A and B are shown apart, each in its own frame.
Chain A
Amino acid sequence: MLTINGKQFNSRLLLGTGKYPNFDVQKQAVEVSESEILTFTVRRMNIYEPSQPNFLEKIELEKVSLLPNTAGAKTADEAVRHAKLAQASGLCDMIKVEVIGCDKTLLPDPVETLKATEELLKEGFTVLPYTSDDVVLARKLEELGAHAIMPGASPIGSGQGIINSLNLSFIIEQTKVPVIVDAGIGSPADAALAMELGADAVLLNTAVSAADKPVKMAKAMKLAIEAGRLGYEAGRIPKKRTATSSSPMEGLSVG
């Protein structure tokens, strides 16, 4: 069970809702993933095309929790505004703080992320900050009272996988609230590794939405995350430099 601020979830896969080929594929991908937390973002409506279909109409809102993000914000103030807009929908109390500090890498601004987290916690939100794999920043966010820490595996949408598993494992070891590896996951192996390192969950979007077959990839990610978690709980063997026979040497009938 994944528990975020007292709320329990069976699935350890959080799924983004951006950039799918179409709503039908997206709906199937969401169903197959069995994800119970879906991310969204807030944007201006096109008032000249008010009847444009919206993915929220396609999903059963009683089955999933919405996790709006503050993507697009470059300052803490902008992030707080996005969060309050999302909250005014009356559909959610969780917020993914995402304050980008670099247009090239889309890495988060640590100072503004910290400020936004502090402000939104004061306002009573359930706050899940997206952060880099900075161990000290992760600790400071937790000390503020963040309800989960969401370190990136690698830059958003890059599909590079986990580029600093050591830092991630330090964050996982020190953090008492859930650690959700967010951004940069490319393949099921990446997701499984995150879970084997001890992450509580994985948030991904592009790895599924931009896959050749998003529905199949959604299933693969679900299975990888379950397998990685089981592997973590089972406890892997230490790596050794030399071989150890799996078969007994006693009772050989020849030689």
Chain B
Amino acid sequence: MKGGEFVKLKINGELITVPTTINTIMEIIEHFKISNPIVIVEHNDTILEKDAHAVTKVADGDKIELVQFVGGG
């Protein structure tokens, strides 16, 4: 990841800066301390399989959606 100490990401529609030490989707999930084991990720409009979280790189300006199952009928 390039561009100084922080990178800007659009996460769930919000512009958020994270440290440049974060390189993958998995690290994003860890950074936000998301404990829910079922986290579904869409990265730049591509829905990721769970196996891809650890290997998918993030870069400045990326769009990330973190979604989960909630109650519904």
Contact = CB atoms under 8 A, between A and B. Distances in A.
Interface of A: 16-20, 26, 39-45, 47, 50-52, 54-57, 66, 68-69, 71, 81, 84-86, 88-91, 156-157, 183, 203-206
B66 A44 contact: yes
A91 to B, nearest CB: 7
B69 A89 contact: yes
B3 interface: no
Contact of B33 (A20, A50, A157): A50
Nearest to A156: B73
Interface of B: 11-13, 16, 32-42, 47-50, 65-73
Nearest to B69: A40
B73 A39 contact: yes
Contacts of A55: 70-71
Contact of B35 (A41, A51, A86): A51
B11 to A, nearest CB: 6
Contact of A89 (B34, B40, B72): B40
Contacts of A205: 72-73
B33 to A, nearest CB: 5
B31 to A, nearest CB: 9
Contacts of B71: 16-20, 26, 40-41, 55
B67 A45 contact: yes
Given A45-B12, A47-B11, A47-B12, A86 B36 contact: no
9 contacts: A20-B71, A40-B72, A44-B65, A50-B33, A54-B68, A54-B69, A68-B72, A81-B47, A183-B73
Contacts of B37: 57
Contacts of B48: 88
A90 B40 CA distance: 9
A85 B67 contact: yes
B32 A41 contact: no
B68 A43 contact: yes
Contact of B73 (A16, A26, A57, A85): A16
A41 B72 CA distance: 5
A81 B37 CA distance: 21
Q: Pick from B13, B37, B40, B41 the residue with the most CB of A within 10 Å.
A: B40
Given A50-B35, A84-B47, A69 B11 contact: no
Given A16-B73, A50-B35, A42 B47 contact: no
A234 B4 CA distance: 75
